A and B are shown apart, each in its own frame.
Chain A
């Protein structure tokens, strides 16, 4: 499991409401308040999009909203930076191909 439940300095993971996401047709659980990217990483997802010209995979790179590597199609909107966009119940998250259009 990639969730850090117990931590020597940060303590036990606090309870948070669980939200369900639809990731490319698969159900994934996230913790309320966390960014989409964290929920995906916790579920073992590493590739978030493919580039337009060379179809190269991209994943998390900066995790603070700067590099745009983590963009996905969220509820139909392409180019959403998933590392700074919080999860919402029932959100639909799709791997983005190229510009996502």
Chain B
């Protein structure tokens, strides 16, 4: 059976859906095919708040970004076909298979946005049940609501490893450690900070030696490693875990672009082989466009911009939008992309790893509390992100342009409203308030995303940025509000002497 369409998009992640939104807005008959049972690609598992600017729905959770893209696409008449895998290409036609059988789709233009798949890591015991990709663990807990294990070792401290570790803690799973063979954490420091303050050690220059067990994982052996990533004999130690999660990078899913015959090039920093494309996202095969992680492992923000460009270009070549208009829209999108990429990092791939631009060790000690209020912003890397600035009603926090600027605070403008604490996707903003406290006490307001939420009146142990207990405090407020989007603002009253160092409340 042959189906004829104007534009076929393979992959319903942020890249494919954004492309669909653009193209359909110009009246292109647009079809999206995705093999999963829900649209959104990686976003259906990402329950954390995203970085970026308001153009990328920054500060919103990945799941909700995926949802709004899908709604917009559907409202514009895009046909989103789920449980539909595109498995072949023949004579210009795509071969698709859904629950009912195999079909051929003849599309005037094609956009491939298949995303990426997870790299594997081989070590003795890697095939044992209990060893799984970090993405699998995420699917189990965030989509199917099942704990993939009880005690976990995470392998890899890139953003994926750090974020999935945090999500495991949120699901009530114990993560005993994160090991990273490189000497430095590859992911954003704010993501690492979330799990460090929860007491999870992030062990750099450490690797997994083996997973042990008969029927499934019962323990693992980890060891220090040198720059060659080889374990250093004598440094081995055994950890009791039932699960090992691998977060060792992603690689672009190029099967289809290979089949179609697009030219590819190798770029280690982008995750491997990627289809070559021009600045319209068109490949070497005319009429075939690409976008998203397929063109290099980056971020959803980048995937959305690339998708927009591909959608606009496809619409233009179908004669649905004038060349001038298309060029203007593309220029805008390319401008935003350049800004996003000006981050010294910005990748989820194996080439990740970036240098802090400001001394990371800032205990908050230099903040002057004489005005009664202090905002501590522990965001020391040039992340493309600005919700803190957008949330501040008084202009006390500034990021400015480019969006990778570090936020600066004018403490004298701060009114202590707490909006920035809730808005920061990095959970990196803390507020110290001595205006209402007596004697040697201070109120610390911090973001909290675990269960149970601490109860007002209760005593709680407070921890520093490494998860070390600083002392005790009393919970004086726990504020949940729709505008905080499931981040609770917890205020704990502590001794002034430790107030500037409090980064969390020990989880119960």
By beta carbon, the residue of chain A nearest B126 is: A61
A98 within 8 A of B: no
By beta carbon, the residue of chain A nearest B253 is: A66
Name, among B129, B171, B449, the residue most crowded by chain A CB atoms within 10 Å (CB to CB). B129
**Interface residue tally of chain A, by bracket?**
20 to 34
Decide if B35 touches A6 in the complex (CB within 8 Å): no
Decide if B215 touches A46 in the complex (CB within 8 Å): yes
Interface residues of A in 53-93 (CB under 8 A from B): 56-66, 69, 83
- Among A4, A60, A62, the residue within 8 A (CB) of B145 is A4
Contact with A along B7-28 (1 / 0, CB 8 A): 0000000000000000000000
> Measured between C-beta atoms, what is the minimum distance from A101 to chain B in Å?
22
A97 within 8 A of B: no
The answer to whether A58 and B127 touch (CB under 8 A), given A7-B171, A8-B450, A41-B140, is: yes
Contacts of A57 in B (CB 8 A): 128-129, 215-216
Decide if A8 touches B216 in the complex (CB within 8 Å): no
- Among B47, B117, B150, B486, the residue within 8 A (CB) of A66 is B117
The answer to whether A60 and B129 touch (CB under 8 A), given A9-B61, A46-B216, A65-B35, is: yes
Decide if B129 touches A59 in the complex (CB within 8 Å): yes
Decide if A8 touches B170 in the complex (CB within 8 Å): yes
Interface residues of B in 88-144 (CB under 8 A from A): 117-118, 127-133, 135-137, 139-142, 144
A3 CA / B137 CA spacing, docked (Å): 13
A46 CA / B127 CA spacing, docked (Å): 12
A28 within 8 A of B: no
A59 CA / B131 CA spacing, docked (Å): 8
- Among B47, B150, B172, the residue within 8 A (CB) of A10 is B47
Contacts of B56 in A (CB 8 A): none
Decide if A60 touches B127 in the complex (CB within 8 Å): no
A24 CA / B61 CA spacing, docked (Å): 40
A4 CA / B215 CA spacing, docked (Å): 24
> Measured between C-beta atoms, what is the minimum distance from B153 to chain A in Å?
16
Contacts of A19 in B (CB 8 A): none
Decide if A38 touches B127 in the complex (CB within 8 Å): no
B147 within 8 A of A: yes
Q: Could you list some 20 contacts between A and B, CB below 8 A?
A: A5-B145, A7-B171, A8-B449, A9-B170, A9-B486, A10-B47, A10-B145, A38-B145, A46-B129, A46-B215, A47-B215, A56-B127, A57-B216, A59-B128, A59-B130, A60-B148, A62-B135, A63-B137, A63-B140, A66-B117
Ranked nearest first, the 9 interchain pairs of A and B with the lowest CB-CB distance are A59-B129, A63-B136, A38-B144, A46-B129, A63-B139, A46-B216, A2-B147, A4-B145, A42-B146
The interface of chain B, by Cβ under 8 A from chain A, is 35-36, 47, 61, 117-118, 127-133, 135-137, 139-142, 144-148, 150, 170-172, 215-216, 449-451, 453, 486
